[in-house]
Structures are given as C-alpha cells and as structure tokens.
A and B are shown apart, each in its own frame.
Chain A
Amino acid sequence: MAAKKPRVIVVGGGLGGLWATIRAAEAGLQVDLFSLFQVKRSHSACAQGGINACLDTKGQRDSIRQHIIDTIKGAAYLVNQPPVKSLCEEAPGLIRTFDRMGVTFSRTPEGVMDLRLFGGVKNKRTCFAGATTGQQLLYAVDEQVRAHEDAGSVKKYEWWEFLSLVRDGAGRCRGIVAIDLKTMETRAFAADAVILATGGLGLVFGLSTNSTNSTGAAASRCWQQGARFANGEFMQFHPTAMPGDDKHRLMSEASRGEGGRIWVPRDPKDKREPAQIPEAERWYFLEEWYPAYGNTVPRDVASRAIWKVCRDLKQGLNGQDLVYLDLSHLDAKWLRTRLGGILEIYEKFSGEDPTRQPMKIFPAVHYSMGGLWVDWEKDEKTGAMKQPSPRNHQTNVPGLFACGECDYQYHGANRLGANSLLSASFSGRVAGESAAAYVKGLGKTLAAVDAGQPAFADEKRRQDSLNNELLSNRGDENPFLLHKELGELMRTKCSIVRDNKGLDQALSALGELKSRSRRMKLDDTRSWANAPLIYARQVQDMVVLAEVIAKGARMRDECRGSHWKPEFELPIPEGKFPGDPEFEEYRAKWKRENDKWLKNTLADWTPDGPAISYEPVDTSVLPVEEPRDYR
C-alpha cells in the first residue's frame, strides 16, 4: 500500500482558499476543503472592478517599482515592505496564470488584456473582466479545483461551518471541529496543517458592502484560541456605495477610473434635477481639492472628503448623506461593455439608469486591512519574501496558516483598489506552498494517527456544549436584533472619523453586548438545518472581534490611513509643497509621529479582553521619507 498522503485542511473557498487548495494539491497533499456553501458562491464573486498587475501595455512606462511604491504609500507605510515587494513582482505571473485558466479578461482591439485606471495611482494597471472581475477569477479557480476534485486530491465539505481549532499538548494546530449545516452534526477532522481563508469581517459593522459570509466569526474563533490579530482598527470605508437597509451595494472604483465624477450642487438648496444644473453650479470637490489625482484619490481620502462635504459642510444632496457619482457624460454603449455589471446592480435596486442620471452614493464599510497576524521570511539577497518558506503566512499558532482577507499582511492602514483580489490570490498561492513546506518539515504525516487523540474528542465536546447551551434557551436576547445593535454601535463609534470619548463608550457598550450575547433565545431549536443557532454563534464571535477593533482604535492616538482621529491630525500646510519651509517643518513633525506610531497593532486574547502590544514594521524597500500627498 502506498504511504498515506499528508493532509491539509483549507477553511474557506473564496479566491484565497481556492488558490491555497490548488497549490497544496499540486504539492502532493490531500486537501479537505470546507465552506459555508458551494464555494462558487463565495464573496469573492462580488468583486467588480479589477485586479492590479504591472503589465505596462498602455505606453505609460509603468513599472513594478511604482506598483510597490503606490501600495506602500497607499498603506500609509504601515506594512512590512518585503512581502509587498513579492506581491507586486509576482502579480504579472499570477495574471498570466489566470489568463491560462481561461478568465475572460476584457480585451483591446488587438486581443490582449486591457487595463484600466484605479484609485491612488497614476498609471493604468488594473486588469478586468467587464465589471465582474471577482466572479470571473473565482470561477477560474473553482474550475481548477473541480479538476483536482475529479483527480481525487481534493474533497469538498460544502455547507459545513468551521467552529474551532484542535491544538495538541504542544500547542500545534492539528485539525478542526466543524458542524454540518444540514444535519447539525459536529465532527473533529485531523490534518497536518490548517489554512484559514474565511474572508473579511464587514458584518461586524452590520451594514457593509460585503456578502453575508463576511462575519469574521472564523477568525475570531482562532483569535480566541490563541492566534494573534493585527491592525484590527484599520477598516476601509469605500467612498461610493449605494446605501440600503439590507446591504450597501458597491459602485466600483472602476466607475471613477473610467471617467466618473463626484459632485454636489454648489448651492445645497438647489432642488433642480441634476441634468438641469449647469457645470458652473456643480462642485466637483475631489477635483478641486486634489487636482493631481482628482476623482481617483485613494479610498480613505475620498471617503473623508465626502464625509466632510455632507457632515461638516452640510452640502449633501437635500441635506442627506449622499453625493452624486456621475457617469452620464460618458457614452452609454461603451459604459455597458466596461461597467455593465455595476450598472445593472444600480438599475435593479434603484430603478434609475446611471448612464442617464448620476448615481447617489455615500461611503460604506468595505474591507478589513486588519486580520490574523502572519509571519514571513525575508530573502536577504533580493529584499523580498523568501519562497517557499514554512514561515510565510503561518500564524503564531504552529501549523495554522491564514490567507486572503482574513490575514493582515499587505494593505496596512489603507488598501488600494484592485489590490485585494491580487493579495487574496497571491497569499492563497503562498499559503498553499508554505503549508506544503511545513508539512514536509514535519517529516511524517500525523493526520491519520491524530484523529484518535483526546484533544479531538475534548474539542468536539466543548463545541457541542456551546451549541446545547444556546439550544437550551435560557436567555431572552434575539441574535438577529443583537447583531443589528452591534452594527449600529460600530458604524457610529468606529466610523470614518473617530474620537476617544466615542471609543470608550463603544468599549463599554461592547462589554454589555458580550454578556447579553451569552443569554440568547432562539426561535428554532430543531436539529436540522438550524440557521438561527449558527447565526447566534456567529454573533457571539463577532462581538468579541468588535472589541479587538475598538480597542485597537482607542489606543492608536494618531491619524493614519483609514484610522482618523481629528484630535491628533497633522495637516499638510495649505498651498505648501516639498522644498517650502512650512512643508519641510511638517515633514519633520510627520517623521517624529512615525517614530511613535509606525508600528503594527497586535491583539492577544485574554479572559479580560484584548491585550494590545505593538511590533515594528520592516521598511527596507522604501524609506519613510515622503508623506502621502495626493494634491
């Protein structure tokens, strides 16, 4: 009989998880792939605008170096630079691989991949497939995984939810406990390594642009079992979403990359239809404030500008939290081929045609730069990440890897548009390879012998008792309403603009929510496809994760990227540029601020809530000399 193949468990079947699955399978591992539903339905399918890679096919002399600089500066420098270097250097190869998998990237008349402009950059660097890029990329890896499934190296556990890690006496991660969402049976699974790829956490804020799978519950569970969480306070608000009561639907940054303009009437009392308002009476505030980048400033900058216009200057449409995102000056037919996917969404949900009328939008919670802390190994020769290395994308829990939006690695204080389909794919690829290297280092496969160990039975028992406690219905709290309360709290107190008083209030409110979340009452106590039970468990873990976010935000007394406390703002002197004495004075102050705050936030679980510490950032690729300045 052939020797038993080593096993790896991948939790999550979005772009990150599917890439990890493919690379682990190609490395000869047996993969068990877990997902809440058929992996093809994962949130990655929502991504619209595109994926970055420097292909330099637009005559703009784009360079990989520039992609690296844009990403690091976009992140407000709060990012380990060698992994970013690898990410950008390997992006073109990753795109070529996607192309070979059959992704329907949009084409130029010559039949090669087209590129579009995105935010926070000056060159066209974004590959796209109409306005459904994430869907197309996800489907390509879904198809490749199906081929591996067909070959027998991958087994899918769809409609299973990850509940917890199994750690052995030495603290190593040896497997997971998961629950079958139909039969409600919990089961322990053994593996030689586990890769977590469970996506973002937008639902901690209730309403966001995210799909309902983005609860952050899985990452929270790992955190509660000892995995570190990093930079939780950095939550990206996307400037252009269509507000809704069930979801804020994103209108991709591609709409501005393709020429869309943001404006409000100069006179806030102007009640005319937008088309009736002449150019001179419109205020294109992004173009005015940031002439160098205009409508495609980075997201944190754009969101704050819209916030300022609506909240501080009271210039929002009809006094509401809304501004125009205008495409109506562009050719309708051309718009359909470039942005069809989002035009349809806007039309379906608002009943208005965005090629004729400007869309009404406002910033919304969108992307978590923070996530599980992961390690990386430096290649001293190249200054990039050394590959393969079992350290890359491994959390502080030995044998547990993380990739995709649930890790914190590439985006620092603010992510650039179209960089996360890239990082989800790249990190998935790397995590699959690293897990394989790690397993090889173990020298033998433990999965087969492990399953009988008491750690597995113990952990399963712990999970069963958590479920039974909820099912015994001793409390009176409704999980759905509690989640709403959590979301409202986070959206008001942990928002685009933050202050310490509000954050203190948030922390004490979260403490109460946490104890209330232990006293839930379920309207369903059946033992078949019990959705409220699963929801209740997710809410419990979301509240715990919210504390990590709020605590990190409370402790960071500065303005950096998406984390903004006006009390500590260091404004660039108006009308002054590098070389001017006032600017140089500002630069000196900015550097002193970096000495204090250019460090990653680390959160460790303790029974009394998150313990926060900090760790320095590797800045060996791009010295921290140039303040972010998009004027």
Chain B
Amino acid sequence: MSDVIRLKVKRQDRPDAEPYWEEFALPWKPRHNVVSLLMALRENPVNAKGERVAPVVFEANCMEEVCGSCTMIINGKVKQACSTLIEGLQQPITLEPMTKFPVVRDLLVDRQRMFDALRKVRAWVPIDGAWDIHVHAPRISPREWELNYDFSRCMTCGCCMEACPQYHPGSQFIGPSPLGQAWLFNNHPTGKFSAEDRLHALMGPGGITDCGNAQNCVRACPKEIKLTDAIAKLGRQTTSQMLKDIFSR
C-alpha cells in the first residue's frame, strides 16, 4: 500500500471536450508534493491500465506557494498543489481543475477573469510617473502596515473564488479577492485619493452587494487574508459613497 501512490485525475483534452477520469499508480517517494508527483508522472505517463498516455497538463512555477499558479482541487479541497504534501493525503488522491474558471486542458484553467477584475476595480496607486520625485510615500504606521501587508500577499490564486457560492461562470459577481484588493488600495495613504473610482466600480450589478456573506472565502485563502473584514469595510465605504453621490447631485 505505502509503496505506491494512487492518483485519479479529472482530465479534459480541450475547452469544449468532455471531461473524463483517469487513474495512475506511481512509486512512493518521501516528501512528494502534488506538483512533484505530476512531474514524476510526465516522465513516464502510464495509466493504471498500463497504457502510455499524454502527460497531465498543469501549471506551476515557484514551487513554494508564492506565485499562485498551481491551484487545483485536491481530494475535494481547493489549494496549491506545490505545497500539498502527499503524506497525509487519503488515497486514491483525486485531482480536479477548479470549477469556476474555464478549463484549458486537464488541470490547467484560465483565470483571466480575476485579472480583468483587478483592472475593473483599479487596483493600483495612481502615480505621476515611474521616476524619482525625491520624496517617499507618506509614512505608514507599523499597525497599518501589518493590515496592508496581509492583503498585498494575495497571489490571485483563485481559492477564495472557487469557494465562494456567489461566484461562478453564470454570475457577474466580481468575487472576494478583487474586493480585498480594492480595499487595500483604498487604505493606502495616496491610493485613497482615487477611492471613489474604486467604490463606483463596486456599486451596481456584480458589485459588493452580491456578496452573500457566506464566509467561505476566508476559510479557503491559503494566506489567511481577512477578506470578509475588507468586504465589510468596503460595504460601509460604498454605502456612504452612495449617500454622498445622492446629496451632491
């Protein structure tokens, strides 16, 4: 039992093709993680029936849980494959692509929608230009830093989006991670200057009111980013922005 690793992968040849399950058995090795296992598999891609098949397609880069690329559903839970060690996983290990994003092939999905959302909420600090103006940004207290740093570690991995019941291909909801980023830039001493633009982007359909407050997102985030805190604060910000808009009309 312990000298093999049994693996069940949900595969799909093309975006428009039907998915199918394929099983594999690989030799056990200490300290394997899910990515290193897929790397071992591509060297000798033989399925459980003994047929040589095309290697499983997946995405990974950093191999240490900072780039966010290798997110997939492992034994039913969404997480990073590179930092998921095989020891301790129930077998057969099932690997599935995330369900909230279009599948490109096998475990590889296209998360472009998340990046488009970052653009929509204008998740950046507007600057005059990328040259020296001979002053720093305003001071930031260590406490404020800690809050902001928490959010700036968001690697657009998609775990929170996968976990969120309100976010799916059929919904317009922008999703938890971009909301967290909108809050981050609203909380920056100069990013604040364009807070109104961000808030306006979050009003209306697909915006912040679509959040059902299910709290799944926080629990799924590998970086334990306090998404619901940000969503609550943003909710208050958009409400007061709405009132401001009404009275300044």
Contact = CB atoms under 8 A, between A and B. Distances in A.
A524 B55 contact: yes
B127 A526 contact: no
B127 A100 contact: yes
B200 interface: no
Given A112-B139, A143-B123, A528-B14, A37 B69 contact: yes
Contact of A102 (B62, B111, B156, B185): B185
B125 A104 contact: no
A244 B134 contact: no
Interface stretch (A144-152, A450-458, A588-596): A144-152
Interface in A168-184: 182
Given A100-B133, A102-B137, A135-B66, A245 B36 contact: yes
A337 B54 CA distance: 45
A606 interface: no
B148 interface: yes
Contacts, number: 190
A128 to B, nearest CB: 11
B126 A478 contact: no
B136 A112 contact: yes
B63 interface: yes
B66 A146 contact: no
B213 interface: no
B39 interface: yes
Interface stretch (B18-26, B27-35, B89-97, B241-249): B27-35
Contacts of A344: 65
Given A104-B145, A143-B124, A99 B137 contact: yes
A37 B61 contact: yes
B119 interface: yes
A246 B130 contact: no
B62 A45 contact: yes
Interface string A125-162: 00001101001100100011011011000000000000
B64 A102 contact: no
B132 A94 contact: yes
Given A100-B190, A212-B60, A529-B104, A107 B145 contact: yes
- Report the interface size class on chain A: 35 or more
A450 to B, nearest CB: 29
A211 B61 contact: yes
A442 interface: no
Contacts of B191: 102
B185 to A, nearest CB: 7
A429 B130 contact: yes
B135 A247 contact: no
B43 A41 contact: no
B149 A100 contact: no
B63 A211 contact: yes
B115 to A, nearest CB: 6
Given A96-B135, A246-B35, A43 B61 contact: yes
B8 interface: no
A576 B9 CA distance: 65
B132 A96 contact: yes
A100 B125 contact: yes
B153 A135 contact: yes
B108 A46 contact: no
Interface in B26-82: 29, 31-33, 35-36, 39, 42-43, 45, 52-55, 57, 59-69
Interface of B: 13-14, 29, 31-33, 35-36, 39, 42-43, 45, 52-55, 57, 59-69, 83, 85, 104-105, 108, 111-112, 115, 118-119, 122-127, 129-137, 139-142, 145-146, 148-149, 152-153, 155-156, 185, 188, 190-191
Given A46-B64, A135-B66, 15 more contacts: A19-B130, A38-B156, A40-B68, A43-B67, A101-B130, A143-B124, A146-B123, A147-B124, A149-B119, A249-B63, A348-B83, A480-B43, A526-B54, A528-B14, A531-B42
Q: 3 closest A-B pairs (Cβ-Cβ)?
A: A93-B132, A111-B139, A143-B124
